[in-house]
Structure 1
């Protein structure tokens, strides 16, 4: 079963429709989601017919007049039950008609506002606690997750990532690594004004079982990682801060001793000058010491 999600940023151009059709056919997808089609409800059927008669469609116009998400599948190959929709999600149960294999597929198009995205995180978190089959979530989350998910522009803050990270760290969802370009959005500008962001993601969930292959081991390691992160936050956060303060204290004492012995000035506030002071101290000790004595005739005295 092959699936994809694509923020097409408009489907009212026949060239864009041709591009999407070609991509879908080349990759042999039997289910795909399109977000930000910018197609009005009155034009929806007209645009969808241009993809051919082999596709069946679902959407979320009932939650948003812009129909932010379209879901398409081949009914000859798979059966799709749309179980839940909102203005940011279409959640479905997929059944392969040949093998009867079942899985959940959720298409996402997150709000541009951090505050308006909060219902999205709550919805996915609720689903993750009630899921019982393998599950794929993909789409445009309109949210960064890691500190390196943006090039140029305003630096990424904790406020931007905290909701997405909480979802990842408090569920069994795994961020699927992609191939190709790492950044999925840009502001289309040039030079130093261009900004790249990674805001499209694919998440997955699998039933826990005895590890039998590398994929299973990876999921087991994710479980261990979650426990370690919890311990770090709840048990060692304050201890780490205390250790750092103690280390700073003893480094300052060490540096002060070297400075007094070397009799040179402090170089720059905040720098660790131990090496400089230690070298100066050794030079001063060498200058003040008497290693060899010579007579007036130049003879070395033992």
Structure 2
């Protein structure tokens, strides 16, 4: 999904409309936010038709200034949550049912009214717990190096805006951009040059974003340049990433250093998405490491075999050195399979790698369903048909039509007591959580 925001400084000129049409062709935005439209609703409606948007919402201009508009395509399920002269809130519903909130924002340009902008941002932050993305022209700076010219931006304004960002748990998305030019349809001269700053999210952005509702992304338009926000892979994949820590990684000396370096080099973000990024890095590191140490075991055995016939002192010393090295590699392999076999009663160092491997394989075989027998006595082996058979079986068991024990239970037996209800509905305590974690095996 692509979102574009632009401080267009009026949609009345044919030049601006041509730029917008070219933007639609080049970048195909699903959602477009315009600030400083200097227009009323009937003109915005006509513009929506020209640009190919089936839905829009606008805030009329005030006097000779202001005016906001939000457009979205037919494939976007959107609902306007709230609006004012300075913002439009749109709640977007994805195909998988998840929702997130996009706010098109335009801050007060007058320095004396910056506090009003900051107060509005704070109130918007507390208005909903949905994942939130804020895009627009804040008319504010966080750092002096964002300003051109010799005169520095007042420090109190920098501090005020920065404190607002921190109070609302906002995170600034890095901007990446390059110059490009729109040309006249006929000719040869450039009539307008704009820079489009792109705001890219990583490929797993949505999974982080949906899990951390307080993570708020925003981007500041500088010099009235359009911004493109590209949401990559917003649909949550069916095969969810599951992280498992491997004990054998701790035996590798480079593990701590490489993971620590990756952690410190990550951009500022909330703890949960940061942990997810690190876990994915460790999983990738671990996959490469496992294949690496298996190859090393085979290679080490070949080296030892080549040294068996040597009887000189140097050859004997090398032989025992390489044999100790093989022992370390086998210890890696043993820890790897021991954790999978879940046979925690056996200590490291017993070189029972084969036993652990067989245990893991047998556990997999025990959990595997090769076939099921239907009511007619025929064997069903197809996975889809087995799923349907199981669903029908349990539907019949747990309904009145099944003639099972459910129909014989009295109403009084189906009720729970008030004491049971209070225990079921009370909040999870930290003590309960601690006890549950401590009952788990470290592996």
Show the counterpart of 1:68.
67
Aligned residue pairs: how many?
202
**CA separation of 1:51/1:217 partners in 2, compared to 1, >3 Å: closer, same or farther?**
closer
Show the counterpart of 1:122.
119
C-alpha displacement at 1:21, in angstroms? 2.0
C-alpha displacement at 1:35, in angstroms? 1.1
TM-score normalized by the length of structure 1: 0.57
> Matches of 2:174 and 2:139 in 1, distance apart?
17
C-alpha displacement at 1:4, in angstroms? 1.8
Map 1:172-211 to 2 at 5 A: 172-180=169-177, 206-207=212-213
Q: Does 1:155 align with 2:152?
A: yes
Q: Is the 8 A contact 2:81 2:89 kept in 1?
A: yes
**CA separation of 1:32/1:42 partners in 2, compared to 1, >3 Å: closer, same or farther?**
closer
- Alignment gaps of 5+ in structure 2: 180-198, 216-242, 244-261, 275-443
Q: Does 1:170 align with 2:220?
A: no
- Among 75, 78, 92, the residue aligned to 1:77: 75
**CA separation of 1:47/1:127 partners in 2, compared to 1, >3 Å: closer, same or farther?**
closer
C-alpha displacement at 1:45, in angstroms? 3.0
> Matches of 1:152 and 1:181 in 2, distance apart?
21
Once the two structures are superposed, residues 69-96 of structure 1 have per-residue CA deviations (whole angstroms, 9 ceiling, x without a partner) of: 100001x211222111111111121112
RMSD: 3.7
> Matches of 1:70 and 1:123 in 2, distance apart?
18
- SS at 1:160's partner residue? helix
Once the two structures are superposed, residues 172-213 of structure 1 have per-residue CA deviations (whole angstroms, 9 ceiling, x without a partner) of: 11011111169xxxxxxxxxxxxxxxxxx99x974369xx89
- SS at 1:167's partner residue? helix
> Matches of 1:127 and 1:107 in 2, distance apart?
11
Q: Is the 8 A contact 1:12 1:47 kept in 2?
A: no
> Matches of 2:89 and 2:132 in 1, distance apart?
10
Once the two structures are superposed, residues 46-77 of structure 1 have per-residue CA deviations (whole angstroms, 9 ceiling, x without a partner) of: 3333223x43110122x835552100001x21
Q: Is the 8 A contact 2:35 2:67 kept in 1?
A: yes
TM-score normalized by the length of structure 2: 0.40
Show the counterpart of 2:58.
59
> Matches of 1:48 and 1:120 in 2, distance apart?
28
> Matches of 2:272 and 2:154 in 1, distance apart?
25
Task: Give the stretch that moved more between structures: 64-73 or 36-45.
Answer: 36-45
